[in-house]
Structure 1
């Protein structure tokens, strides 16, 4: 039913923890784990071993390239992109699959930090005014909602947890691999809305994310972030699609 893609960049024990969570989700019929940098193999639970494909890259690939390559192993009706630092105590997939039946091409759960606070994983499309407001601490462009609220249509959701109809992912061509890291999720959501498809945020499903915020600490990640932001604005500024994302 679901092929799930996870990419490890030396995440080690985080991947081991996530694999134990996934072993309890019967909807996940295949896990494609991409080892992007040299590291020890994952500890795959016995109940998940026959559902797991491990890919090892000769050299590191970008976020989109890795998940597009994993999609080549997808033979299921749904495809899920998941960060290795995501955890869940309750299975989120039944609620997410139910949301997709409402005609959306992609959906995502409510994402919390480890203390239970809702993260800013569902946002309005970035704009110059919004980026200025964020830099000044006035607003960060997020949608405000609570766990258990009715599903709604955000403009974009972060790539830490995305569940797609496989047919729609293929029709979009997956992620734009010219974004090495950052903004490829925003770009995909712009293209999804522009194609006439819809995104849903399903607060009935939850996941926990321990954000790394590497672009705040490492120069290389900051450079990738800025380069991707420039590419996004050059490509989409002034040409953003109409959405059902207003609340």
Structure 2
């Protein structure tokens, strides 16, 4: 972080062999010509080809972390948080593209409604909305999704509540999350019990239990070129299933379910 800059957004990006994608993302960030951001870039694979990304985002303050052994999603971002100095910590996937600068709109949400976690809308490359703002999963819902997929059917999901330009989901996907620094710190960051999946669900569950609202604005958006490794690779699928089991047996999930059974509304 440069000492003469006021950093509003510390943007954490982790590469798993995504050098060329990150170069494009850094160019998007550099093209926004902001003077209130810093980027913490983590190279998670010691032997990955570190494409010369700095040339694409040369105007950005860039902190580089080189891992000698791979870490999980949560550990990487938690370590990046320790190196960051911004008012807000931004978790950003390497396969995100920014057609325009979303940060002024997101900053306005944080000013009008301080103490929330927020995100833009997420679209796929065909400009169709992604399922990035959701209700909390349940074991039964996952079973229905698996059956629907096996049958080649599309499962209809409940619509997330929306008021004017803001959606109020239970949780938002970790591809793009804007979290005020004090919230990330007070919640202890992402839980390192998980590996690659459900860290975002768990974080939002713990935030909701603290009365912290989760908001998504339809006034700005990002593009996500999803890879969906867990749909093709049994290793990723195994991590997904294990993380789901950990979440459904977690204190946060069980407390949310108990509150629901007792008729207590979440914030």
> Which residue in the other structure is 1:64 paired with?
74
Matched, 1:12 2:19: yes
Structure 1 distance, partners of 2:238, 2:31, is 38
> Which residue in the other structure is 1:224 paired with?
239
> Which residue in the other structure is 1:39 paired with?
48
Larger fraction in helix: 2
Post-superposition shift, 1:20? Answer: 0.2
Rg comparison, structure with higher value: 2
Structure 2 distance, partners of 1:27, 1:96, is 16
Secondary structure of 1:118's aligned partner = coil
Secondary structure of 1:207's aligned partner = strand
Q: State the aligned residue count.
A: 243
Change (3 A) 1:133 1:46: closer
Using structure 2 for the length normalisation, give the TM-score.
0.85
Q: Which runs of 4+ in 1 moved over 6 A?
A: none
Post-superposition shift, 1:150? Answer: 1.0
Q: 134-143 vs 58-67, which deviates more?
A: 134-143
Q: Deviations over 1:41-75 (max 9, x none)?
A: 34224763550011110000000000000001121
Q: Deviations over 1:194-244 (max 9, x none)?
A: 012111111111000011111111111111101100000011444216435
Secondary structure of 1:22's aligned partner = helix
> Which residue in the other structure is 2:98 paired with?
88
> Which residue in the other structure is 1:195 paired with?
210
Structure 1 distance, partners of 2:161, 2:126, is 16
The answer to whether the 8 A contact 2:161-2:169 is kept is: no
Structure 2: segments with no counterpart, 5+ residues: 1-7, 149-153, 260-264
> Which residue in the other structure is 1:77 paired with?
87
The answer to whether the 8 A contact 1:19-1:45 is kept is: no
Structure 2 distance, partners of 1:133, 1:28, is 44
Q: 75-84 vs 94-103, which deviates more?
A: 94-103
Matched, 1:127 2:142: no
The answer to whether the 8 A contact 1:82-1:160 is kept is: yes
> Which residue in the other structure is 2:3 paired with?
none
Structure 1 distance, partners of 2:244, 2:156, is 16
Q: 1:29 aligns with which of 37, 49, 66?
A: 37
The RMSD of aligned alpha carbons is 2.1
Post-superposition shift, 1:141? Answer: 4.1
Post-superposition shift, 1:144? Answer: 5.6
Q: 123-132 vs 151-160, which deviates more?
A: 123-132
Structure 1 distance, partners of 2:159, 2:130, is 10
Change (3 A) 1:215 1:75: same
The answer to whether the 8 A contact 2:9-2:86 is kept is: yes
Structure 2 distance, partners of 1:170, 1:46, is 31
